[in-house]
Amino acid sequence: MLNTETNLPSPDDFYEELVALHRDLTPEQSRQVNARLILLLANHVGDPAVLREAMARARRGIEPAGGDATLPARA
């Protein structure tokens, strides 16, 4: 089960570090860092059910862009 309660001892400090992580990066480099961070954290979590729940919650309420697919649909 995904824990959505505040679980960081200092959320504001973490947010500042996350912003600093992207400082001086191009948009493409920033996307690369995000992808790497997501994969590292997903590996750390390790529970596919928790990861699926997190992905669903992250996507909730965000409508797909009109005709602009970031990734091709799987057959």
The model's pLDDT over 36-48, given as tens digits with 9 standing for 90+, comes to 999 999 999 999 9
The answer to whether residue 20 sits within a structural domain is no
Give the structural domain span for 57.
Answer: 26-61
The answer to whether residue 66 sits within a structural domain is no
CB atoms within 10 A of CB 50: 14
Residues of the chain with pLDDT > 70, as a percent, come to 88
Domain tally, the chain: 1
Q: Which two tokens stand for residue 22?
A: 């992207």
Q: Which two tokens stand for residue 7?
A: 């679980």
For residue 6, pLDDT beyond 70: yes
- Per-residue confidence band for 11, with pLDDT thresholds at 50, 70 and 90: very high
The answer to whether residue 71 sits within a structural domain is no
The answer to whether residue 35 sits within a structural domain is yes
pTM for the predicted model, two decimal places = 0.77
